[in-house]
Amino acid sequence: MESTKYIYWQDQGQWLGYLQEYPDYWTQGDSFEDLQSHLRDLYLDLTSGEIPGVRKLAELTLR
C-alpha cells in the first residue's frame, strides 16, 4: 500500500492540511476524514502531470 506524509491541524471547526512533499498546496475538510479524502485527491492531481509548474519539497545532502 502506498502512503505519503501530511501535516494537518484544526482551526475554527475546519480541518486544514497539506502533503509534506508539496507544502505550497493546502486543502481543507469539514471533518478529519473529509480532509484525508481531499488530500488523496490533491495528491492525484499533483502527481498526474496535468498541472504545470508544481513545486515540490526536496532535501539536499551537503557532504
pTM of the predicted model as reported, rounded to 2 decimal places = 0.88
Distance CA 58, CA 33 (A): 28
Q: Please choose, from the candidates 12, 7, 41, the residue with its C-alpha nearest in 3D space to the C-alpha of residue 24.
A: 7
Tally of residues, the chain = 63
4-30 per-position pLDDT tens digit: 999 999 999 999 999 999 999 999 999
Enter the C-alpha cell of residue 63: 557532504
Distance CA 11, CA 48 (A): 30
Residue 53 pLDDT level (bands cut at 50, 70, 90):
very high
Distance CA 16, CA 10 (A): 6
